[in-house]
Structure 1
Amino acid sequence: MRFETNGRNLSILADRRWPAETGIGKVQAELEARLPQNMNIVDLHVKGRIGSPLSPLAISRSLHRHGGEGVFFSAGFVPPLFSRLPSVVIVHDLTHRRFYGVAKRAYYDFVYRPLYRRSSAVICVSEFTRQEFLDWSGMPEEKVHLVYNGCEACFTEAGERHTPGYAYVFYGGNHRSYKNLDRLIRAYAASSLPSRGIKLVFTGNQNDDLTALASRLSVGGHLVFTGRLPAEEIPSFYRGALAVAYVSLFEGFGLPIIEAYACGVPVLTSNLTAMPEVAGDGAVLVNPESVEEIRLGLDRITSDEALRKELVDGGRKRLSDFNWDKSAERVWQIVKDVA
């Protein structure tokens, strides 16, 4: 991959504070691994916490210290407070405005929104997120681009399978409230799965609230928390699962959906926000606010073999739309265009 830059290397001045194990850190790594030959990454070594209200100011100070030419780029959502250089940021979702309290919403509305408007380009990871961002930000459509995420190469159907000695439905993700895990547990408790010996496996350390809920519903012994998993072990948990359940209330993309597809596992997910767009024909879609719909979905996806095969085939086909080579080429072309 090579782009014309008038014979000069183009410096990409990057905020690279995102930890490697985070979703944004993985996006950053995948994009940088596919950097065109005539572009080079310059780590700005931005000081301070990513989530700090002063983060845009910290970026601007780092840009000022660096001097020189190039384009500011962040795989995350934080724009600079001010910059004489063009800037490109990736917005993965607007969950902070919805689920993180009044102060966070106000900060987005009164600080981030005008900063995004000053950006040269914003990249969104789904058409749902792009439309929501356009409606909220008021930016011109031509400056807000759609580029899908890809899937890490470690997520494949071939490889080790987690075999704990029982069948299970897998949830891979954090335990934030909008992930809807309380309704997932209620639906599981009302389903046929516990009586069939099928457990519910969550990534992460034991969550006391979820454990207490499961105990009240008499399924405490059927809930399993994996603890903090090394990244290389996560695909084996997908491959070993009967199905993946991802019935979140809100997602800007929904990476576990395509991770499951890549591992050949059927998916139960929500019919809201970006999830139907990403899922295509590879998932059973349910209303995540309906415990009964989730229950029916769990029963169907773990017992109907014809449906399971249909979903796996649909997931394989849909997966071809999420390719890091194509995504990186598009991202770096947008960066080049604003330079």
Structure 2
Amino acid sequence: MTVRVLVDATAVPVDRGGVGRYLDALLPELGTLDVDLVLVTQQHDRESFAAAVPQARVVCAPGWASRPAVRLVWEQLGMPLLARRVRADVVHSPHYTMPLVATVPVVVTLHDATFFSDPGLHSPVKARFFRVATRVAGRLAARIVVPSEATRAEVVRLAGVDANKTAVALHGVDTTVFHAPSAEVVARVAARLGLVGRRWVAFLGTIEPRKNVPALVGSWARAVADDPDPPALVLAGGAGWDTGVDDAVAAVPDRLTVVRPGYLPLSDLPGLLGGAEVVAYPSLGEGFGLPVLEAMACGAAVLTTRRLALPEVGGDAVAYCDVDQDSIAGGLTRLLGDRAERERLAEAAESRAAEFTWARAADSHLSAYRAVAGRGPWWRRARGKR
């Protein structure tokens, strides 16, 4: 059965973090399946999505909907009208919120439940908003897609989502981009970072409180303090709102090097990750943990935590620590001093990463769409009508 699905890609950020990476990888795979895709995008994204998903029809939201707050107004007023105009069978809202008056079933992706479990990791306004959005989606959406079993358990436990309406769609990794880099690629990235001839420990992710970056900075400084040739620490990723990072970096001794390149293009990430001595990701909790999977695919020795979904991703192919500085420093010290263990982890990581594909994720999404197509909007379902 071919299902016409209207996917709302208007929340995709310009820097391609978060929901952007998810849709950029998922949609081309969905385009190869028996699904009639209609994508609604911001104007600046129209050409890139049209090129990446040539099977899809791509339409633009109005220019005035480009600002986040105004986009939410358009989602509630314009999205239902667009769904009727394109004769969608299902609307997919991929980032917590949903159009409440859509006349067809809505599938919503909930990426994690940290707005409930760790609200202090977010701004108060953001935490309150997304708690409400999660509860509304859990009650009114026809299906909830989550990226891991851990996230399913969390949204059921903390947000009251009915487990029977959830679908787990594990993320994948694009091995055409993320793979063990050549020496030439590593050298190019080292030159970009100003680390020619140097070793480094890498972190990749938005610099936000949940990523525990200040603890990583202090732990790394302790772990390499007595090293005559200490590896640098590279903190790559979009600028976030963790104000403690600047203070942590300022406290680093002058003989040690911290590099903060900001957002890096995708083409540089294999060299950054695969060229690192260790990729450290001591997160306080992840709905999935895509940077860990991407580092694994690049043949990196990864140090991460056992919080939420991270063990589902890493399995036995990564090293684990707790979230405090003593534990992170101990994990870094062990890995930096044990080349054989780093090589063992790198080999195991590549093998495990190959199990996570966006094709499988697309199949899971299509199953969710088909399960709800034809069921009608939430208010008809609430009255027992189709």
Output the TM-score relative to the length of structure 2.
Answer: 0.78
Distance 2:226 2:276 in 1: 15
SS in 2 for 1:317: helix
SS in 2 for 1:226: strand
2:138 is aligned with 1:145: no
Find the partner of 2:88 among 57, 69, 77: 69
> Residues 214 and 60 from structure 1, CA distance in 2 versus in 1: closer, same or farther, beyond 3 angstroms?
closer
Question: Could you say which residue in structure 2 is the equivalent of 1:226?
Answer: 261
Find the partner of 1:198 among 224, 231, 242: 231
> Residues 211 and 221 from structure 1, CA distance in 2 versus in 1: closer, same or farther, beyond 3 angstroms?
farther
Question: Could you say which residue in structure 2 is the equivalent of 1:12?
Answer: 5
Find the partner of 2:321 among 256, 278, 286: 286
Q: Which residue type is aligned with residue 128 of structure 1?
A: A
Alpha-carbon RMSD: 2.4
Find the partner of 1:324 among 345, 358, 363: 358
Distance 2:131 2:79 in 1: 24
Greater shift, 250-259 or 306-315, is seen at 306-315
SS in 2 for 1:14: strand
Q: Aligned-pair distance for 1:315?
A: 1.1
Distance 2:335 2:19 in 1: 30
Question: Could you say which residue in structure 2 is the equivalent of 1:239?
Answer: 274
Q: Which residue type is aligned with residue 305 of structure 1?
A: R
Distance 2:243 2:106 in 1: 42
- 1:13-32 alignment, distance < 5 Å: 13-17=6-10, 18-19=12-13, 21-32=16-27
Q: Aligned-pair distance for 1:194?
A: 6.2
Distance 1:194 1:166 in 2: 16
Distance 1:255 1:205 in 2: 15
Kept in 2, the 8 Å contact 1:214–1:220? The answer is no
Distance 2:269 2:17 in 1: 13
Q: Write out the 4+ residue segments of structure 1 that deviate beyond 6 Å after TM superposition.
A: 205-208
- Point out where structure 1 has 5 or more consecutive residues left out of the alignment: none
Q: Aligned-pair distance for 1:56?
A: 5.0
Kept in 1, the 8 Å contact 2:35–2:366? The answer is no
2:218 is aligned with 1:186: yes
Greater shift, 176-185 or 206-215, is seen at 206-215
Q: Which residue type is aligned with residue 322 of structure 2?
A: N
Q: Aligned-pair distance for 1:144?
A: 0.6
SS in 2 for 1:82: coil
> Residues 322 and 50 from structure 1, CA distance in 2 versus in 1: closer, same or farther, beyond 3 angstroms?
farther
Kept in 2, the 8 Å contact 1:46–1:59? The answer is no
User: How many equivalent residue pairs?
Assistant: 330
Q: Aligned-pair distance for 1:22?
A: 2.0
Find the partner of 1:261 among 296, 302, 305: 296
Distance 1:155 1:236 in 2: 9
Output the TM-score relative to the length of structure 1.
Answer: 0.89
SS in 2 for 1:264: coil
Kept in 2, the 8 Å contact 1:45–1:62? The answer is no
Kept in 1, the 8 Å contact 2:152–2:163? The answer is no
Q: Aligned-pair distance for 1:135?
A: 1.2
Q: Deviations over 1:227-261 (max 9, x none)?
A: 33222212211121111000011211111111111
Kept in 2, the 8 Å contact 1:57–1:80? The answer is no
Distance 1:205 1:83 in 2: 34
Kept in 1, the 8 Å contact 2:115–2:122? The answer is yes
2:293 is aligned with 1:277: no
Q: Which residue type is aligned with residue 313 of structure 1?
A: E
Q: Deviations over 1:23-67 (max 9, x none)?
A: 311221222212224412242644535753x75542231233222
Give aligned-pair identity as a percent: 26
Question: Could you say which residue in structure 1 is the equivalent of 2:47?
Answer: none
> Residues 49 and 219 from structure 1, CA distance in 2 versus in 1: closer, same or farther, beyond 3 angstroms?
farther
Question: Could you say which residue in structure 2 is the equivalent of 1:90?
Answer: 109
> Residues 215 and 103 from structure 1, CA distance in 2 versus in 1: closer, same or farther, beyond 3 angstroms?
closer
- Point out where structure 2 has 5 or more consecutive residues left out of the alignment: 41-58, 191-195, 374-386
Distance 1:51 1:131 in 2: 29
Greater shift, 183-192 or 56-65, is seen at 56-65
> Residues 141 and 41 from structure 1, CA distance in 2 versus in 1: closer, same or farther, beyond 3 angstroms?
same
2:150 is aligned with 1:128: yes
> Residues 275 and 50 from structure 1, CA distance in 2 versus in 1: closer, same or farther, beyond 3 angstroms?
farther
SS in 1 for 2:311: helix
Q: Deviations over 1:64-92 (max 9, x none)?
A: 32223321012322222222211112111
> Residues 224 and 102 from structure 1, CA distance in 2 versus in 1: closer, same or farther, beyond 3 angstroms?
closer
Find the partner of 1:40 among 20, 37, 42: 37
Question: Could you say which residue in structure 2 is the equivalent of 1:156?
Answer: 179
Kept in 1, the 8 Å contact 2:80–2:99? The answer is no
Greater shift, 123-132 or 158-167, is seen at 158-167
- 1:101-120 alignment, distance < 5 Å: 101-120=123-142
